[in-house]
């Protein structure tokens, strides 16, 4: 029997610092209802979907921003979203800032069933940005200051398939998709808050949209999985965030994409059985992978040029003859 899901990518427009949880949750519920009208089984919300992207600001006292964190989930302010999902019979994915009972802070996402039960939790592994105050930047990116990294990429059996989660910068690393793929992942859910401007190298700004889709499309294709990438977009506290939320097939093709930088839902029919077309042919891992050759991937982090390798400089004559 074919395993078909209707999935909605629920992009959010900007959330400003003065917007409270109640206002934001009302927007999420409105998008959830649009998902219901589109007959969605699952709606995917972005990274840090309940607040503004607060790591753009520095504070000497990290506790100053504790009000942006959720100490339990669901809590009183977010419970209406869970209630609405249960009433509508729609599952959802939600990104938020998590503070554990013992005071640890994470950039987190959860997967919630059609009955409003939490099926799984993921904590962002690849934290981007910097740890120190860098006031020269137009805006800062202090995730490595405010959050601790997660330590596991795992999958969950849900919605008749095998689902995985990743968050924002995780999508730029091929290891993310491969680790999920090696666990049989058929549908990866990814939320992001991505600035169009990249202060360390502004020459990349014009490529922001291209890079966003490049990594998700290649990850989908090379691992035979669906990928749903969902943005918080628009001008948030003076920072332009990329939109272009999309649903990508195991072929690497974009099946649906948002066209605004506002609250918007696009949906697509996701055939989980399509994954086998790639997992059992070109990307049959068991048949073709050579893990004994890939040892450097897990034995080192940075680049290590092998001993004895020297860069040969061409002289003028060599250049003329080339």
Positions annotated as catalytic residues are 47, 124, 168
Instruction: Give the Cβ contact number of residue 78 at 10 Å.
Output: 21
The residue assigned the tokens 């009208």 is 37
Report which secondary-structure segment, H or E, holds 303: none
Residue 91's φ and ψ, nearest 5 degrees, are: -85, 165
Whole-number Å distance between alpha carbons of 75 and 73: 5
Asked if 250 and 280 count as a contact pair (C-beta separation under 8 A), the reply is no
Whole-number Å distance between alpha carbons of 9 and 266: 5
Beta bridge partners of 12: 232
Q: What is the DSSP string of 57-108?
A: S--SSGGGGGGGSBSSSS-TTTHHHHHHHHHHT-EEEEEEEEE-TTS-EEEE
The residue assigned the tokens 């272009």 is 244
Residues 6+ away with beta carbon under 8 Å from 116: 82, 83, 85, 86
């Amino acid at each position: 029997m074919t395993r078909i899901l209707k999935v909605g990518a629920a992009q959010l427009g900007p959330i400003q610092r003065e917007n409270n949880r109640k206002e934001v949750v009302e927007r999420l519920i409105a998008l959830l209802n649009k998902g219901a009208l589109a007959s969605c089984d699952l709606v995917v919300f972005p990274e840090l979907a309940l607040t503004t992207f607060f790591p753009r600001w520095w504070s000497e006292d990290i506790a100053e921003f504790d009000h942006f964190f959720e100490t339990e989930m669901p809590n009183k302010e977010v419970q209406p979203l869970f209630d609405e999902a249960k009433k509508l019979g729609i599952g959802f994915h939600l990104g938020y800032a998590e503070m554990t009972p013992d005071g640890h802070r994470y950039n987190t996402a959860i997967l919630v069933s059609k009955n409003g039960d939490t099926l799984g939790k993921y904590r962002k592994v690849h934290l981007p940005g910097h740890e120190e105050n860098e006031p020269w930047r137009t805006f800062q990116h202090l995730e490595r200051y405010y959050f601790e990294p997660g330590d596991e990429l795992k999958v969950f059996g849900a919605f008749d398939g095998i689902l995985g989660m990743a968050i924002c910068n995780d999508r730029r690393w091929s290891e993310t998709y491969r680790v999920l793929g090696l666990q049989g992942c058929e549908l990866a859910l990814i939320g992001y808050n991505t600035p169009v401007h990249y202060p360390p190298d502004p020459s990349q700004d014009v490529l922001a949209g291209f890079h966003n889709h490049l990594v998700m499309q290649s990850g989908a294709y090379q691992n035979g999985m669906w990928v749903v990438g969902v943005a918080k977009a628009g001008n948030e506290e003076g920072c332009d965030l990329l939109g272009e939320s999309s649903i990508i097939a195991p072929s690497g093709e974009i099946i649906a994409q948002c066209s605004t930088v506002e609250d918007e839902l696009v949906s697509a029919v996701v055939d989980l059985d399509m994954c086998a077309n790639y997992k059992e042919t070109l990307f049959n891992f068991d048949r073709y992978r050579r893990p004994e050759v890939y040892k450097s991937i897990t034995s080192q982090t940075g680049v290590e040029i092998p001993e004895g390798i020297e860069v040969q400089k061409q002289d003028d004559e060599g250049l003329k003859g080339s």
